[in-house]
């Protein structure tokens, strides 16, 4: 739909600008006369009253207070400096006469058309169709409206890059819900009820759940690990899967923390999966993400759902491991947690083919926002979530 015409201010009062503006107004009048006529024929066809539309059209152009004729008097003639008044006055007079003649004609014709009987309508049918086609005319040579296409968000880009590295090794991709039950977020991952390891997760609970059994209570997932269980419930071994997603914790925002952030989880289960497979896989993934000169370091750690567990660091990508401000002089940057899937976890999905005596597996979880900060050289995680176009545009 064309935009509603409004009388524009004149850029200057020279002949060229004047006639351009006058032509713009004439084109608008033409369009609106066609629209009125079309409406009149349609009203006749369905025997609807049309007088209100006719009056509105007349007022829009000739209304004494705010009609377009009054407006061009104000905006064009009255605003003209003295030396241009005469020329502007002449054009405004011509336009006024034209508008009065055409609007009055259009009003008479529309009233008559809106009252045509079905047989009269049939007689003018051919004209009407022609008229209708004319009114739908579209100039395809006019330049289109260009909309900005936006840019991939840096965190999404990091998620995609991480997922791509694992896809290339044959992993599939899975997702799970952000609102999760206590069972999937904790119980099935070997966090027993009231176990202190739960405290490390700063969980945001959903209110009003006291009447439910503890394991069914809802919370915002604190990690993507619950999707390990959901995936093993659906798919029997062997599996290789990565799980990107959003997670939430009750953390105060600062340059390196956000109460909402992103992780990529990984899980591989088969017969005879060993810690060597885990080391080789993650060493390769870190080299693919940060460059082939990056080294990895595995240190013992603890997670309830892996045994043994490890914390993985990469050699600092800024100083090559010599020590700098980013790695706090240590030469290493801690990046993810991992380990061999704890047999207790397999017990929760044993019936789907995960007998802990027969299968083994490894799992890992990494923060995607942190990886995006490092890869793209951003020094404040808050920049990712403030929606400032000047920041995001740099990733276009």
d(CA 138, CA 267): 57
Residue 276 Cα to chain centre, angstroms: 40
d(CA 396, CA 383): 16
Supply the minimum distance, in Å, between the C-beta of residue 365 and ligand DAH. Answer: 2
Supply the minimum distance, in Å, between the C-beta of residue 220 and ligand DAH. Answer: 13
Supply the minimum distance, in Å, between the C-beta of residue 245 and ligand DAH. Answer: 11
Q: How many residues bind ligand DAH (CB under 6 A)?
A: 11
Pick the binder of ligand DAH from 176, 304, 321, 339 (CB under 6 A).
339
H/E run at residue 10: none
CB-CB contact of 335 with 314 (8 Å)? yes
Would you state the structure tokens that stand for residue 116, as one six-digit string?
């045509």
Would you state the structure tokens that stand for residue 56, as one six-digit string?
């509105």
Supply the minimum distance, in Å, between the C-beta of residue 181 and ligand DAH. Answer: 16
Supply the minimum distance, in Å, between the C-beta of residue 209 and ligand DAH. Answer: 22
Pick the binder of ligand DAH from 99, 187, 363, 368 (CB under 6 A).
363
Supply the minimum distance, in Å, between the C-beta of residue 145 and ligand DAH. Answer: 45
356-372 core/surface letters (b: 16 or more CB in 10 A; e: else): beebbbbbbbbbbbbbb
Supply the minimum distance, in Å, between the C-beta of residue 336 and ligand DAH. Answer: 7
88: buried, middle or exposed (CB in 10 Å: 19+, 13-18, 0-12)? buried
Is residue 244 a contact point for ligand DAH (CB under 6 A)?
no
Point out the residue whose Cβ comes nearest to ligand DAH: 365
Pick the binder of ligand DAH from 337, 345, 348, 378 (CB under 6 A).
337
- Residues 175-214, one symbol each (x = binds ligand DAH by CB under 6 A, - = not), give ----------------------------------------
307: buried, middle or exposed (CB in 10 Å: 19+, 13-18, 0-12)? middle
List beta partners, residue 181.
218
Provide Rg for the chain, Cα atoms: 36
**Which C-beta is closer to ligand DAH: that of 84 or that of 370?**
370
Is residue 223 a contact point for ligand DAH (CB under 6 A)?
yes
Would you state the structure tokens that stand for residue 15, as one six-digit string?
């002949």
Is residue 364 a contact point for ligand DAH (CB under 6 A)?
yes
Closest among 295, 297, 310 to 364, alpha carbons compared: 310
- Residues 260-289, one symbol each (x = binds ligand DAH by CB under 6 A, - = not), give -----x------------------------
- Residues 299-328, one symbol each (x = binds ligand DAH by CB under 6 A, - = not), give ----x--x----------------------
Closest among 260, 285, 391 to 336, alpha carbons compared: 285
Pick the binder of ligand DAH from 174, 181, 225, 281 (CB under 6 A).
225
Would you state the structure tokens that stand for residue 263, as one six-digit string?
């992780």
Supply the minimum distance, in Å, between the C-beta of residue 387 and ligand DAH. Answer: 25
Q: Which stretch binds ligand DAH (CB under 6 A): 21-29, 137-145, 180-188, 336-344?
A: 336-344
Measured CA angle at 257 (ends 255, 261), to 5 deg: 125
Residues lying near ligand DAH in the complex (CB under 6 A)? 223, 225, 265, 303, 306, 337-339, 363-365
């Amino acid at each position: 739909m064309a935009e509603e015409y409004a009388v524009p201010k004149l850029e200057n009062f020279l002949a060229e600008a004047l006639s351009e503006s006058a032509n713009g107004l004439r084109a608008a009048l033409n369009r609106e006369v066609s629209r009125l006529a079309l409406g009149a024929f349609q009203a006749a066809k369905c025997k609807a009253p049309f007088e209100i539309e006719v009056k509105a059209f007349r007022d829009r152009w000739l209304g004494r207070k705010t009609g377009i004729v009054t407006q061009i008097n104000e905006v064009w003639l009255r605003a003209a400096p003295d030396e241009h008044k005469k020329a502007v006055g002449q054009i405004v007079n011509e336009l006024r006469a034209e508008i009065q003649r055409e609007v009055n004609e259009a009003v008479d014709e529309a009233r008559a058309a809106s009252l045509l009987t079905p047989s009269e309508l049939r007689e003018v049918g051919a004209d009407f169709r022609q008229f209708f086609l004319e009114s739908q005319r579209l100039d395809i040579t006019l330049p289109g409206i260009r909309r900005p296409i936006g840019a991939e968000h840096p965190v999404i880009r990091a998620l995609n890059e991480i997922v791509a590295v694992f896809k290339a090794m044959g992993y599939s991709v899975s997702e799970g819900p952000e609102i999760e039950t206590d069972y999937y977020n904790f119980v099935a991952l070997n966090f027993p009820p009231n176990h202190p390891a739960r405290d490390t997760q700063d969980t945001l609970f959903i209110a009003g759940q006291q009447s439910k059994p503890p394991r069914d209570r809802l919370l915002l997932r604190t990690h993507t690990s619950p999707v390990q269980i959901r995936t093993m419930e659906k798919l029997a071994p062997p599996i290789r899967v990565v799980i990107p997603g959003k997670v939430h914790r009750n953390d105060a925002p600062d340059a390196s923390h956000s109460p909402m952030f992103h992780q990529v989880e990984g899980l591989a289960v088969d017969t005879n999966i060993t810690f060597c497979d885990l080391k080789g896989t993650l060493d390769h993934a870190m080299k693919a993400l940060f460059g082939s000169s990056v080294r990895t370091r595995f240190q013992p750690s603890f997670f309830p759902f892996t045994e043994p567990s490890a914390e993985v660091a990469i050699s600092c990508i800024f100083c090559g491991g010599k020590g700098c401000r980013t790695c706090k002089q240590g030469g290493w940057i801690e990046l993810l947690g991992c380990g061999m899937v704890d047999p207790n976890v397999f017990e929760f999905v044993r019936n789907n083919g995960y007998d802990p005596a027969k299968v083994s597996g490894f799992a890992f979880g990494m923060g995607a926002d942190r990886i995006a900060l490092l890869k793209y050289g951003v020094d404040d995680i808050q920049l990712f979530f403030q929606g400032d176009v000047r920041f995001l545009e740099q990733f276009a």
